Amino acid sequence: MLYSIIVSAGLENIAREELSERFGNTGDLKILERKPQRLIFQYTGNPRELLSLRTAEHLFLILKRIPNMTRSRSSLAALSGSLTRFNFKETYECCRQVGINIRKRMPFRVTSRLSGKRNFRRVDLQRVIERALIARGWHLTSGRSVLDVWAEVHGDDGYISIKLSGNDMAQRPYKQAHILASLKPTVAYSMVRLSRPHPTDVFLDAMCGAGTILLERALMGRYGYLIGGDVSSEALDATVANFGRKHRPRQFFQWDARKLPLQRRTVDKVVCNLPFGEAIGNLPQLTNLYRQTLKEYARVLKPRGRMVLLTSQRRTLDDELERLHFLDARQRLTVDVRGKRAWIYVIRFA
């Protein structure tokens, strides 16, 4: 079967690594293409297993992929015609395996996406797919649907897919408490992955917000100790609520990250979402925060430790790293965070 996953912009390579690591040794996986925010692959195992991917925001079963789509309205006929002749037997079985309740008169809805210049509109694409499925005996609904069908045309390729994942794939069921501008779990997971987790890690997020980074580390596997802190009592309350009674040993503090009450060289990994410019609003103040925080992180980090930091203030962080010549940015990834350009830095001692 042919599948695709949607990921945040910039995380495509990390998603590819996760796919290969999780399923590459079984012989069930063949990655076909890496596109912006999308990976397309063949998988012969149980599709329910793919729902556990932590970089993916959505999982799709691709029913039809039509190459060489033209700008003409006549190209819509290729999409419509492919559904008229399509055998849904394997599709239904795949849906059952992920827990979708298949019915005789299938309630469905269509989401359409269109990029590039075309001689037809997004709504035209949607209507063509709707009519083709209604002709198959499916029931178009404006309410709750059983199947979410996605019709997309990007570049020269057209796709008709069924969304297999629910909201939990991207949002995570542990996120019961939220705070403003909370980090996406998929981005948090990717940052934790870049820290190269080890079972004995003492792991620190000194600006933990709602605890997303800490929880993604806890869910990744064994660790030595989790330490989280934030200047905001509201954020710490959210962290405690999201953790509940799970994932020990751990400890949370209300503190100023510029003055950590931790001993020198006691932390293996520091992973942190640094404040973005809009959170501080004053460049000198932001620069001072970055400078003092980086010094503290370097003080508590072990010699072979690793920092993974997210920021939208690339110039500010680069300037401070240049000042602290004993720190070396080994890797920089450009990512999309809430529609804004940001960077993930992987930093070690020079």
Task: Give 85's contacts (C-beta < 8 A, 6+ positions apart).
Answer: none
Rounded-to-integer distance, Cα 26 and Cα 292, Å: 47
Give me the DSSP letters along 162-178: EE---THHHH-TT--S-
pLDDT score of 213? 98
Instruction: Say how far apart CA 30 and CA 42 lie, in whole Å.
Output: 5
Q: pTM of the full predicted structure?
A: 0.92
Q: In this predicted structure, which of 69-78, 124-133, 193-202, 264-273 has the lowest mean pLDDT?
A: 69-78
- Identify the H or E element spanning 342: strand 340-349
Give the 3-state secondary structure of residue 282: coil
How far is Cα 85 from Cα 102, in angstroms, rounded to an integer?
20
Domain with CATH 3.30.2130.30 in the chain: 2-168
pLDDT at residue 278, rounded to an integer: 58
What pLDDT score was predicted for residue 68?
82
Chosen CATH of 2-168 out of 3.40.190.10, 3.90.1150.10, 3.30.1360.70, 3.30.2130.30: 3.30.2130.30
Quick check: 244 pLDDT over 80?
A: yes
134: confidence class by pLDDT, cuts 50, 70, 90? very high
Find the mean pLDDT for residues 262-274. Answer: 97
> What pLDDT is stored for residue 157 in this prediction?
87
User: Of the given ranges (14-18, 177-181, 238-242, 298-302), which has the lowest mean pLDDT?
Assistant: 177-181
The pLDDT of residue 327 is: 95
Q: How far apart (Å, rounded) are the C-alpha atoms in residues 167 and 239?
A: 21
Which three-class secondary structure state does DSSP give residue 97? helix
pLDDT score, position 107: 92
The per-residue pLDDT for 277 is 63
CA distance 111 to 228: 40
Give the lowest-confidence range in 116-120, 129-133, 197-201: 116-120
Average pLDDT (205-209) is 97
Q: Residue 264 carries which DSSP code?
A: T
Place 283 in a pLDDT band, splitting at 50, 70 and 90. Answer: confident
Model confidence band, residue 246 (pLDDT cutoffs 50, 70, 90): very high
Mean pLDDT for the chain overall? 92
Predicted local confidence at residue 231, as pLDDT: 95
Length of the chain in terms of residues written: 350
d(CA 147, CA 63): 13
Q: What is the pLDDT of residue 77?
A: 83
- In the predicted structure, residue 144 carries a pLDDT above the cut 80: yes
Q: Is 123 helix (H, G, I), strand (E, B) or coil?
A: helix
Summarize pLDDT for 285-321 with one digit per residue, the tens. Answer: 889 999 999 999 999 999 999 999 999 999 999 999 9
Q: What are the C-alpha distances in Å from 270 to residues 113, 131, 304, 319, 320? A: 39, 53, 12, 20, 17
Task: Give residue 28's Cα distance to chain centre.
Answer: 23
The string of pLDDT tens digits covering residues 71-107 is: 888 888 888 888 888 899 999 999 999 999 888 888 9
Q: Where in the chain is the domain with CATH 3.40.50.150?
A: 172-349
Distance, CA of 217 to CA of 334 (rounded, Å): 21
pLDDT at 41: 96
What number is the average pLDDT over the span 111-118? 88
Highest mean pLDDT range out of 3-7, 177-181, 280-284? 3-7
Report the pLDDT averaged over residues 113-134. 90
Q: Is residue 282's pLDDT more than 80?
A: no
Domain spanning 172-349 has what CATH number? 3.40.50.150
Q: Is the pLDDT of residue 280 over 60?
A: no
Confidence of residue 336 (pLDDT cuts 50, 70, 90): very high
CA distances 225 to 198, 200, 205, 221, Å, are: 11, 8, 12, 12
Q: Which of 54-58, 274-278, 312-316 has the lowest mean pLDDT?
A: 274-278
The per-residue pLDDT for range 176-205, each reduced to its tens digit, is: 888 887 899 999 999 999 999 999 999 999
- Residue 252, C-beta contacts closer than 8 angstroms, at least 6 positions apart: 208, 211, 227, 228, 229, 236, 239, 240
